[in-house]
Amino acid sequence: DTGVSQDPRHKITKRGQNVTFRCDPISEHNRLYWYRQTLGQGPEFLTYFQNEAQLEKSRLLSDRFSAERPKGSFSTLEIQRTEQGDSAMYLCASSPSTGTDLSPLHFGNGTRLTVT
């Protein structure tokens, strides 16, 4: 079990630049989630995929944010025209689809974004 993998671990960028993060879920998991975590807060839901379909997006996800999961495996989260307020830890999680029972989320170690 290789777990959920996120790349890069850290990203420092200048305000106004675009950044892209990658998440590789556990291989048999068809559900993939993106969360954002700021200092002193719990993770905040951003978006959720079932296979390649993006089923839900939080209102936190402004039009500068876009997420894709083109083949139902890895996912990317892109932030365009970054702002200092985007500085946070971006967490990816995955879970299997198991019918009526809810499977817990398995989290990656996150990508820490610092916008200067």
Partner 1 sequence: AQSVTQLDSQVPVFEEAPVELRCNYSSSVSVYLFWYVQYPNQGLQLLLKYLSGSTLVKGINGFEAEFNKSQTSFHLRKPSVHISDTAEYFCAVTPRVRNDMRFGAGTRLTVKP
- Which residues are near partner 1 by CB under 8 A? 4, 31, 33, 35, 40-45, 48, 56, 91, 93, 95, 101-102, 104-110
Cβ proximity to partner 1, 4 vs 79, nearer residue: 4
- Report in angstroms how near the CB of residue 65 gets to partner 1 at its nearest: 18
Cβ proximity to partner 1, 13 vs 107, nearer residue: 107
- Report in angstroms how near the CB of residue 3 gets to partner 1 at its nearest: 8
Kindly report the backbone phi and psi dihedral angles of residue 20, in degrees, each rounded to the nearest multiple of 5, phi listed first: -135, 135
- Report in angstroms how near the CB of residue 81 gets to partner 1 at its nearest: 28
**Nearest CA among 76, 1, 9, 10 for reference residue 46:** 76
Cβ proximity to partner 1, 13 vs 50, nearer residue: 50
CA–CA distance, 52 with 57 (Å, rounded to integer)? 14
CA–CA distance, 56 with 70 (Å, rounded to integer)? 16
